[in-house]
Structure formats: structure tokens, C-alpha cells
Amino acid sequence: MRVLALLFVAAVCVGQTPPAPPVSQELLRLARLRHAASRLFDKLPNITCTLSIERSYRLNTTRKFQLIDNLRLEVALIDGKELYAWPGSKRFEDRDLVELVGTDGAIGDGDFAVHAKSILFSGRTTLKFVGDETRDGRLVGKWQYRYPIETSQYMVRIRPLEGMVGYSGFLYEDAANHDLLRIEMDIDEIPGHLPLRSGRKIITYERVRIGETSLLLPSESEMTLIHAKGTESLNRTVFSSCRQFTGESTLTFDEPAPGAPAPGPTVAWSLPGGLAVQLKTKSDLNLVTSAVGDQISFAVAKDASSGKQVWLPSGAQVEGRIASLDCPKAPVQHCFALIRLESFSFANKEGAIRASMESPSMDQQFILMATARRAILSQTQRIFLAPPEGSGSVFVKGAKWPKSSVSVWRTVKEPGGK
């Protein structure tokens, strides 16, 4: 009986194990935030958006920012990876964004979802709830976080140098539905070899309807870098025209005349070097509101022939792109644009084109600017006055490059080409 009594007492003691302490409200709220974010970020379809990027700099924090350029790009989130391309390109490329746009100003990536997922789900950050506050009439939860350099995946590139940096900041959520609203990132751990004093990035998010689905996507971001010598770079980015990416590209031509034979399969067509091609713009182009990366459509004005061979018939479509742009307002409003031709198509043929603009010359384009010519030339970037091979420089008084403007280009012989 004594043995049975001891067993009974032991069983009672086991059954009375103290319950686990209650989960704190902060942990519950963090779990809800992560759950809401995972439902959105883990199920994002392949999406592409247009990026409008304004890059500026100033020599020190007491000066005003000076515009470097405006860029237009396409960004795609494909299988969780961010890829970039110029507008109208047939494919997105897995290449460094700096290589695509150049190093003249600040540029950054990761805004689509990479930074948010790293902060919320990597397990390398510490998150602390600060409290609720009201912003724009909305109750917002504020979280403080830290991402140390030892485990950071945030790469900063200041060519030719690069390195991982540590950062900290605040994350804001909608207190009602736990949507991510804003991320503030302050770079505060910098490796000694990087010529950088500090950096800051702010990303804001909003709901966007794509088809029948409401998705949480970035709406804009701002990045500031203060370099070792005190110069400051500023990058403002706006996301727009977001849509689902299907990975399919098609070329659309005018309807054929009744009874005309249907075009056959697409044929790759190569142009010889030294071919003179006369082009006219297909529409008015406001250069003041344009951006580097924007496409320009031309039509071949007359048959481009060599010997008895017509290489580009009249009416063939040629696509170009703005490679550099400057639109000062003084001494009068004027614009310079560096243009590069990229592709052509006609009937069932298509191919790449590289050419230099021969006319109108810069003297011919300046013909109406006699009184302001000297002042304009004194401040013009050399690239517009002496464009590199395979490009052309356009000057307009005011802002508009009008429809049907005619220019003559000569194709550049490619290595190993004709």
C-alpha cells in the first residue's frame, strides 16, 4: 500500500506542472505582423513596375542639390528576385543595376521586397515594439530594429569598391491590419575601405490592385549617401504602372491589306556597316518631361540601299533610346539629348542597329540660337557636343522635339560584321 501511495503522489506532482508563462503582447503583435507580411510577400506573383528615378548631388550639406539625371527603368520581381531592364526591352537581365544605369549618381535595389523580408524573416535582426502613434489619421505601430554588419546582406557599391554595411531604423505597420507601411534604414556600420560617412533609405508601401488581387507594393523610396569627402548623393524613386509579368513579348504590326500574304516566320536581319539611313520621328517628344531610358520611335523616311539591295525599306520601324539628357532653363529653355538606336523591324524581319548621326550637324541645329549660342556652349556637357560612336546628339530650343523631324544616320561596322 505504501508503494501505491508513493506512486499516486508522484502522479499528482507530474499532473501539477506549472503552466508556461503567457506570451507577451509584443510577441503576439510581432507574430501578427510577420504573418501578414508572409501572406503577402510569399505569394507575390511575378510583377513588373515602371521606375522613375531622379538622381541629384551636392558638394556639402549646406548647398542645394543639383540634378544629375532622370531615369526610367522597368523592375520585375520574378521568382522572388529583382531584375531590371530599360522600358520596352524584350527581356529582363540578371545584372548589377549600377552596370545598367552608370555610376554618375546614387542607385539602389532591394526595394520591392528584399529589404522587408530580410528585416522581418532573416532571424538576424532584433525587433522591439516602440508604441502606437497616429499618422495621417491612421493608427500606426512603430518598431525599432537592428541589423548588425556581422550578419548583414546589404551591399553598398561605390565603384570600384563594395562592402556589406550594418544598419538600424524603424518599421511602421498599420495597427488595424498589420500591413507594412514604411521602412527607415540608417547605415551606421561601415567597413573602413568604403569611402562613405553615412547613408539613409526610406521605403513606403501601399496597396495596389492588379487584376482581382490587392497587393502590397512599394510606392516610392528615397536614398541618401554622404561620401567620405562630404559630397552627398540623393536618389528619389517612384513606382508606377505595376502589372503582372507573363514573360511573353510580342511585336504588333499594322493590319495587312486585304488579300496580302501573311508574313512568314521572323527572320534575323543584319545591316552592313556604312549604310546611310534617313529617319523621321513618329511623334512629338517633350524632352523636359522625358527621362534617360525612354524609348523613341522612328520611321525610315526612304529606302536605305547599298548597291541594288534595299536593307531598310521606307516605313520600317526603328527604335532608339535616350542615353543622356540635359534641359537647362538658362540662358533660355533648351535641351540636349544623346540618342542611341537599338533595333528595327519590317515585314517579318528584325535586328539590331548601331549607327552614328551625321545630320543635322550641331551647327545646323544651332541656327536659330545665334544670340544665346555662346552662353549655351559654355555650359554644355562635352558628350553632347562630341557624341561617342554609335550615337547622335539632338538639340532643341524649348522642350519639344517635333514629330517628323528628319535625321540621317550611318551604321557602324560591328567587329566581325559586314
User: Tell me, what CATH number does 85's domain have?
Assistant: 2.50.20
DSSP 181: E
> What's the CA gap between 203 and 184, in Å, rounded?
7
Q: Are residues 168 and 230 in the same domain?
A: yes
Q: Are residues 282 and 407 in the same domain?
A: yes
Q: Are residues 214 and 340 in the same domain?
A: no
How many alpha carbons lie under 13 Å from residue 264 in its C-beta half-sphere? 3
Q: Quick check: is 368 in a domain?
A: yes
Burial of 73 (0-12, 13-18, 19+ CB in 10 A): buried
> What's the CA gap between 49 and 344, in Å, rounded?
25
Last residue of a domain, one of 244, 278, 302: 244
Whole-number pLDDT of residue 105: 61
Q: Are residues 171 and 314 in the same domain?
A: no
> What's the CA gap between 337 and 322, in Å, rounded?
7
DSSP H helix total and E strand total for the chain? 7, 25
Q: Are residues 207 and 119 in the same domain?
A: yes
DSSP states of 344-368: EEETTEEEE--EEEEES-HHHHTTT
Which residue type, as a one-letter code, is found at position 74? E
Q: Are residues 237 and 192 in the same domain?
A: yes
* Strand duo 81-85 + 66-78: pairing: antiparallel
Asked whether the beta carbons of 195 and 228 are under 8 A apart, the reply is yes
* Strand duo 285-286 + 309-312: pairing: unpaired
Q: Quick check: is 332 in a domain?
A: yes
Q: Quick check: is 379 in a domain?
A: yes
Burial of 178 (0-12, 13-18, 19+ CB in 10 A): buried
> What's the CA gap between 49 and 72, in Å, rounded?
11
- In tens digits, the chain (418 residues) has pLDDT values of 444 343 333 344 445 555 656 668 889 999 999 998 888 777 778 888 999 999 999 998 788 999 888 999 998 888 778 888 899 887 887 777 777 776 566 667 778 778 888 999 988 888 999 999 999 889 999 999 999 999 888 888 887 888 999 999 999 999 999 999 999 999 999 999 999 999 999 999 999 988 888 888 999 999 999 999 899 999 999 999 998 876 543 333 344 445 555 556 888 999 999 999 999 999 999 999 999 999 999 999 999 999 889 999 999 999 999 999 999 998 999 999 999 999 999 999 999 999 999 999 998 998 878 788 889 988 899 999 999 999 999 999 999 999 999 999 999 976 444 4
Which residue type, as a one-letter code, is found at position 13? C
Q: Quick check: is 192 in a domain?
A: yes
Whole-number pLDDT of residue 110: 76
Q: Quick check: is 9 in a domain?
A: no
Asked whether the beta carbons of 350 and 263 are under 8 A apart, the reply is no
102 contacts: CB under 8 Å, gap ≥ 6: none
Whole-number pLDDT of residue 247: 57
User: Tell me, what CATH number does 375's domain have?
Assistant: 2.40.128
**Could you give phi then psi for residue 360, rounded to 5 degrees?**
-70, 150
Q: Quick check: is 255 in a domain?
A: no
Asked whether the beta carbons of 190 and 164 are under 8 A apart, the reply is no
Angle, helices 25-41/114-121, rounded to nearest 10 degrees? 150
Q: What is the pLDDT of residues 13-50, one digit of tens each?
A: 445 555 656 668 889 999 999 998 888 777 778 888 99
Q: Are residues 107 and 229 in the same domain?
A: yes
Q: Are residues 86 and 213 in the same domain?
A: yes
> What's the CA gap between 162 and 152, in Å, rounded?
13
> What's the CA gap between 107 and 139, in Å, rounded?
32
Q: Quick check: is 56 in a domain?
A: yes
How many domains would you assign to the chain?
Answer: 2
Q: Are residues 133 and 193 in the same domain?
A: yes
Tell me the three cell numbers of residue 82: 529583382
Q: Are residues 102 and 219 in the same domain?
A: yes
Asked whether the beta carbons of 32 and 176 are under 8 A apart, the reply is no
> What's the CA gap between 228 and 225, in Å, rounded?
10
Domain enclosing residue 386, as ranges: 267-411
Q: Are residues 275 and 221 in the same domain?
A: no
Whole-number pLDDT of residue 386: 93
Which residue type, as a one-letter code, is found at position 207? R
Q: Quick check: is 169 in a domain?
A: yes
Residue with cell 537599338: 342
DSSP 372: T
List the one residue out of 171, 122, 124 whose CA is nearest residue 147.
124
Q: Are residues 274 and 143 in the same domain?
A: no
